Structure 1
Amino acid sequence: MKIIDLMTFGALVALGAPFAAAQNPLVQTKYTADPAPMVYNDTIYLYTTHDEDDAEGFKMLDWLLYTSTDMVNWTDRGAVASLKDFKWIDKDNGAWAEQVIERNGKFYMYCPIHGNGIGVLVADSPYGPFKDPIGKSLVWQKEHWNDIDPTVFIDDDGQAYMYWGNPDLYYVKLNEDMISYSGDIVKLPHIEDYQEGPWFYKRNGHYYLAFASTCCPEGIGYAMSDSPTGPWEYKGHIMDHTQRTRGNHPGIIDYKGKSYVFGLNYDLLRIETDKHKERRSVSAAEMHYNPDGTIKEVPYWKDNVLEQIEFFNPYRRVEAETMAWGYGLKTAPLADGGICVNNIDNGETLTLRGVDFGKKGAKNFKAATRNAKQGAVIEVRLDSDKGPVVATLPLKSSADFSLSECKVKGAKGVHDVVFCFKGDGDNLFEWDYWQFN
């Protein structure tokens, strides 16, 4: 059992654990960085890099995907690509900041291969599988190692652009096939406070280039232009430099009438240690524009409250790896391509926010689990881990996933749902999915 002392409890409250109002970082089961959100078919697809649990420096082997429709409950979709997908390189580390964009029903992932330029993968689905269509780098300026952090945008006239670079900034015009380019690589004049991690987009006729601002610590700066190729005018910070984090890396979207900035921090790591290690976590905050298109500065992640933008429906199969908060838990791939929650210890919890049971309420609860220890139980509580118990589910002991079911009493209206895990010791069971009826 992982022990949480009073100091850690305070850190969790500050981070936005279920007993606090905020909701950051977005993912707690893995270390995630370099957020690249994409809105497609009314869903946010959040692609991230992945810092390994034992990383001291940068140890990054693959790219992950999480999805949400409400900004606070996120479903782990697993690793969608890795360095192994580029057969023309021999690297076991260096899966740095990527971005995915859709065009004509295909999804293009632009990936830096540090020291080998920028590669591109393509898939027929945002979930992958992503494959290498060209078998070589898309861009590689061999005279330096600046070719990292690609960001791609398709303008209203159909012309696509890719920006990238640390510490210098470059762009090319991509062809319609999105896997080749025309013309020269253009190096732009230095933008004040620019360091790395550009994010290129357009909104209400203005072109924006957000970026990680000068290290260290990094903030999130931005520049604006009337043209997709500049000149770029520095406008200030979206989030100022702060000693509370070392790095940052922006991703920006509009979704369901609101604007959001995503970035990274070391807040989850700080629960465990104050020593610096490259184990980062993605966070998000609502962002607001002024009438002239400039951006209002956003407070540091932990000083924000991320509001849920629609209630969560429990009356369907819900993958167990969907959560607002699950610190201490882990997720793992299944043989059928799915994901399960594991590393479930006595006393730990998994929380979903804003679950709508309706006026009639739920009558039954079922969960698919395997390898349950004798006496392992899922206790369902409302609003907090001290809230009223509405269901107690003893789990069947089975080597294969099997359903256990119990009655529910008192689950009506909208509540946070906290699944509390009870049993003897650690690794109580593995959890595939659940559903209320």
Structure 2
Amino acid sequence: MKKLPAILFAAAAAMVMCSCGDADISSVTMEGEKIKSASKGVKITAVTDNITKTTGNPLISNIFCADPTAVEYEGRLYVYGTNDQQQYEAVGAEGSNTYEHIKSLVMLSTDDMVNWTYHGTIDVGEISPWAIASWAPSVVSRVEEDGKTHFYLYYSNSGWGVGVLTADSPTGPWTDPLGKSIIDGNTKGLDGCKTPFDPGVTIDDEGTGWLSFGGGEDSARIVRLGSDMISLDSDIKKIPSSYHFEASELNFINGTYVYTYNNDWSTHLKWNYPKTERAPACSMAYLTTKTPLDPDSWEYRDYYFKNPGEAGMEYSNNHTHLQKYKDRYYLFYHSLFPQKALGTEGGFRSLCVNEAVVDEETVTIGRVNADKNGAEQIKPLDPFAVNQAETAFSSADVSYNYTDVAGNMTVSSSADGGKAAVVWVKGADFGSGASSFAVKAKGKGRIEVYLDGKDTLVGAAEFDSKDMKIVCAKLKKKISGEHDIYFVISQNAEFDEWQFVK
């Protein structure tokens, strides 16, 4: 694992106390009882150095997850994935990721592409006890007659079929509208598709939903969904995807249906598309059509993404999601490269993203190169807004706690030896200045604030409460301009939200 700057440790060890008597409580907009920070005898004498990443990829480095999908809602991008962390916790660092323990899906979100909020998991095993497993989700949303945005999340029920969950919030609570698979091995019309899994869903410009699925050679399939999005409304048709392996996904771009898939691990020596370069083993390729139920109408276009192993990020299976967000296209994928730094080589994957180039006029996906840098920050973080403690660019020895609110988590220190944990937030713009800050927290603890890994503490909030309180503290000096923020969290503290005050 990466080490935090030594100067940060020195600052933590110094235990500089901050004046808190003049904190501006009235300007804090977090909801709850507000109190001023006061000395409770809590000292931070050591801080963990297990920072989990220093580059943009992976999105979240302390939770293994894979097989991404995404949907935009109210200006935020919500990303979902297979919860490899559940398998890791079941088999341990010496075990292997053979997926059988995975019955949940990970939820993340962002509005700047570098600071990611961890919303916990969707417990598919509890919601759908009939399901064998839950892998490789695909999600869409639409506004319905009740005025609400409804979310439809399809997932692989192991290799046997596809399940579906619904919600009217991107973080749930989620429900199972069918109590069974929407497609499985017993579905009529599969025509030789033995593994009807790995769903890909899209809604076209007429409001019609489409579902693709299937694993193995000659097994890509597509079907039109009913108006309720949870029934089938056509015969199942083939998509002629050569060397097909898995990882179906659908997009609808400029009146065109785009089907993406993972081709197999063979050398592809027999190549039937002379106008295109032979696709590398286990790369991602795409086809397009205007009439998705006509197998002959699908046109093979090209491969657009090599296996991440080709970029030195370790070879693994391959699964991508193409997403337009804030007028840019992004390619989400997974990679194995973080696992060694996290103490395992069992095949546990992590989500990554890089910017993609898509020509919407010709519906052409440019080649995307995987790298550890990831996407650039597309806007500064607003430190004067209410921010979640579980929002981070990186972290060190943080554990998550569920709350009564779906999708809301709190963070605590899981560091050994009584050390404090770290949450690192990137690119916060303080503008002309902040004079105070507040944290929503409970326990007997202390939360310290550092900027850019510099050698002095700029603020600290101390508290002793069994219930969540908004603890306000005066900064040692006014903060202005753009900075990274490091929150250092003592043992026995549970941290929910934070906000700076001008």
Name the structure 2 match of 1:101. Answer: 140
1:396 aligns to 2:396 (yes or no)? no
* Shift, 1:5, TM fit: 11
Question: Which residue matches 1:10?
Answer: none
Measured against aligned partners, the alpha-carbon deviations of 1:37-93 in whole angstroms (never above 9, x if no partner) come to 111222211112211233422131212211111111111222234122124x164xx
Measure, in 2, the Cα distance between the counterparts of 1:390 and 1:206. 54
Counterparts in 2 of 1:110 and 1:356: CA distance versus 1, 3 Å:
same
Name the residue aligned to 1:178: 229
Superimposed CA distance per residue, residues 136-186 of structure 1 (whole angstroms, 9 cap, x where no aligned partner): 221122387512111111112232210011112111111111111123222
What is the match of residue 212 of structure 2? 163
- The CA distance in 2 between the partners of 1:133 and 1:281, in whole Å, is 30
**Is the CA contact 1:151–1:200 (under 8 Å) kept in the aligned structure 2?**
yes
> Are 1:133 and 2:205 an aligned pair?
no
CA contact (8 A) 1:344 1:429 kept: no
Cα distance in 2 for partners of 1:73, 1:272 equals 20
TM-score after normalising by structure 2: 0.75
Check 1:199–1:139 CA distance in 2 against 1; reply closer, same or farther (3 A cut).
same
What's the TM-score once normalised by structure 1's chain length? 0.85
Which of 386, 396, 411 aligns to 2:479? It is 411
1:266-325 CA distance string (max 9 Å, x none): 1221213462x24211111100135743222111232x4411111111112211001111
Find the counterpart in structure 2 of residue 78 from structure 1: 120
Does the alignment pair 1:237 with 2:303?
Answer: yes
For the residue of structure 1 that corresponds to 2:358, the secondary structure is coil
For 2:422, give the aligned amino acid: T
- Which structure exhibits the higher relative contact order, with contacts defined as CA atoms closer than 8 Å and separated by 6 or more residues? 2
Deviation at 1:255, TM superposition (A): 0.9
Q: Which residue of 2 aligns with 1:148?
A: 197
Q: Equivalents in 2 of 1:329, 1:287: separation in Å?
A: 31
* Two-structure CA RMSD over aligned residues (Å): 2.7
The answer to whether 1:314 aligns with 2:383 is yes
Q: 1:390, 1:411 within 8 Å by CA — same for their partners in 2?
A: no
Instruction: Find the residue that maps to 1:83 and give its secondary structure.
Output: helix
The yes-or-no answer on 1:214 pairing with 2:264 is yes
Q: Which runs of 5+ in 1 are unaligned?
A: 7-14
Q: State how far apart, in whole Å, the 2-side matches of 1:369 and 1:129 are.
A: 24
CA deviation string 1:173-221 (max 9, x = no partner)? 11111111123222333x2343211111122333321223324873332
Q: Distance in 1 between matches of 2:174 and 2:156?
A: 15
- In the alignment, does 2:30 pair up with 1:17? no
The structure number with the bigger radius of gyration is: 2
Match of 1:68 among 94, 110, 128: 110
Residue number in structure 1 paired with 2:253: 203
Q: Is the 1:81–1:129 contact (alpha carbons within 8 Å) kept by the matching residues of 2?
A: no
Residue 24 of structure 1: how far off its partner (Å) = 0.7
Residue 337 of structure 2 corresponds to residue 267 of structure 1: yes
Q: Tell me the SS of whatever aligns to 1:26.
A: coil
Q: Indicate the SS of the match to 1:227.
A: coil
In structure 1, what residue type is equivalent to 2:479?
A
The residue type paired with residue 176 of structure 1 is S
- Quick one: structure 1 residues 331 and 294, their matched pair in 2 at CA, closer, same or farther if it must change by over 3 Å? same
* Counterparts in 2 of 1:220 and 1:301: CA distance versus 1, 3 Å: farther
In the alignment, structure 1 residue 351 sits paired with structure 2 residue 401: no
- The AA in structure 2 aligned to 1:48 is G
Quote the sequence identity (%). Answer: 28
